[in-house]
Copies of this chain bind each other. A is one copy, B any other.
């Protein structure tokens, strides 16, 4: 698949696909004429990348965790993905991802609570707010 088709199928501008390659997130083969040649699986991989970017992860972090996510099974545990430094880094990233999840969850709930109150027409004033409920300390 050439870059145009990949772009159409993923909705990601060709410019960005070249950028992801520059960042080490994609490694297409090259045809004789120099055109990039992507395998089918790249469609999923690009979606993966987009999802993570949209969550606020950087290309650097994504580069680190990609091997965990989309390698064909038989090269899952290549030695170079297994040294203690890398494992440490991945554990660390999992922790950071978890923090994001927690923060987002708290704030989602806070907004939902607000919306519920607004729609019920009942202002959540001091009187009907249970004591434990502080507005979602974020970090």
Contact = CB atoms under 8 A, between A and B. Distances in A.
B47 A138 contact: yes
A1 interface: no
Interface string A105-139: 10110111111011100011110010000011111
Interface in A3-51: 44, 47-51
Contact of A54 (B87, B91, B103): B103
A118 B74 CA distance: 13
Determine the main DSSP class of A at the interface with B. Answer: helix
A59 to B, nearest CB: 13
Contacts of A94: 108, 111-112, 115
A47 to B, nearest CB: 5
A63 interface: no
A99 B90 CA distance: 22
* Copies of this protein, total: 2
A118 B77 contact: yes
A55 B52 contact: no
A135 B82 CA distance: 18
A108 to B, nearest CB: 5
Interface in A79-100: 81-82, 87, 90-91, 93-94, 97-100
Interface of A: 44, 47-52, 54-57, 65, 67-70, 73-74, 76-77, 81-82, 87, 90-91, 93-94, 97-101, 103-105, 107-108, 110-115, 117-119, 123-126, 129, 135-139
